Amino acid sequence: MKLTYPHTLALVTGASRGIGKSIAQALAQEGLTVLCVSRSEAGCQDTLAAIAESGGTAHALAVDVADPDAVEAACKTINDRWGAVSILVNNAGITADNLLLRMKNKEWDDVLATNLSSCFYWCRGLVSGMTQKRWGRIVNITSVSGLRGNAGQANYAAAKAGMIGFTKSIARELASRNITANAVAPGFIQTDMTHGLSEDIKEKILPHIPLKRFGVAADISAMVTFLCAQEANFITGQTFTVDGGMVM
Ligand code: NAP
């Protein structure tokens, strides 16, 4: 199916590597101009180079998504320089795993701020531009941990579950403006985030994946690209699990 995008400016957070890089590349491949956010401008240079090589257009922005003032300032700059963002993908995320009794306040606060609060900051900052165009797409990258919990990830699972409630609420709130909001819940995807897991843990996870492989970033970007297209215009408030069948 040929997908269509009536408006051409997209923003992807956490676009310097992994899933976010793949999403940025896939949207650029569809002809969108992609604003790539990570903590440093240098961080997204690889992404920009890959997009330029395939004939696409992208720009890098250094924004700490956990900092409300930084996001607010970035939204203003974007609006002044490029105009309204019509497609927002909240993908930036971190983990800081620990057992409940050992979890530090900072581990809790950082994970909640980077994964969950950031979605609120970006949506609040960019939604008025979508409202004016009466067209918008918001996709929040949650996790299967947010659907079923995970020992050692109380902070991350709480943030990712919070993203699902947030997505459903804004989907209801923004529907009348023709803005959709959906969440995508990846399972185990091979990126830097999962690179550090021991072979032992990976061997324990694999038998629980019916499709018998770990995912790759392109498995997620395929779903996101569809949800951002005009053709997904009757889909909102949903969470799509992309995990090889692990959660059914
Ligand atoms: P990754 O390879 O670790 O990349 C994380 C991205 O987030 C990087 O681009 C990083 O940018 C950015 N980021 C982190 N903190 C940031 C901050 N404060 N401000 C701006 N950018 C920040 O992770 P990934 O595996 O691609 O994961 C992407 C998303 O998918 C995350 O939300 C993650 O929770 C979710 N997810 C991943 C998996 C998986 O198996 N990999 C499974 C379920 C869900 P810089 O460090 O360059 O600034």
Characterize the bridge pairing of strands 87-90 and 9-13: parallel
Which of these is catalytic: 5, 121, 156, 188?
156
| CB 188 near ligand 1, within 6 Å | yes
Which atom of ligand 1 has the smallest separation from the CA of 66?
Answer: 18
What Cα–Cα distance (Å) separates residue 244 from each residue in 47, 190, 228? 26, 13, 22
CA of 115 to the centre of ligand 1 (A): 9
Q: Which two tokens stand for residue 241?
A: 């699990």
pLDDT tens digits, 118-149: 999 999 999 999 999 999 999 999 999 999 99
Q: What CATH topology corresponds to 9-241?
A: Rossmann fold (3.40.50)
Question: Is residue 121 annotated as a catalytic residue, yes or no?
Answer: no
What is the torsion angle, in degrees rounded to the nearest 10, for the CA atoms of residue 103, residue 183, residue 114 and residue 246? 40
Angle at 11 between CA 245 and CA 177, to 5 degrees: 85
User: Which atom, in ligand 1's list, is nearest to the CA of 44?
Assistant: 47
Q: What backbone torsions phi and psi does residue 88 show, to the nearest 5 degrees? A: -120, 125
Express each pLDDT in 183-237 by its tens digit.
999 999 999 999 988 999 899 999 999 999 999 999 999 999 999 999 999 999 9
- Tokens at residue 128, please? 């008025």
pLDDT for the residue numbered 220: 98
The DSSP bridge pattern shows strands 9-13 and 33-38 to be parallel
pTM of the model: 0.99
Task: List pLDDT tens digits, range 206-218.
Answer: 999 999 999 999 9
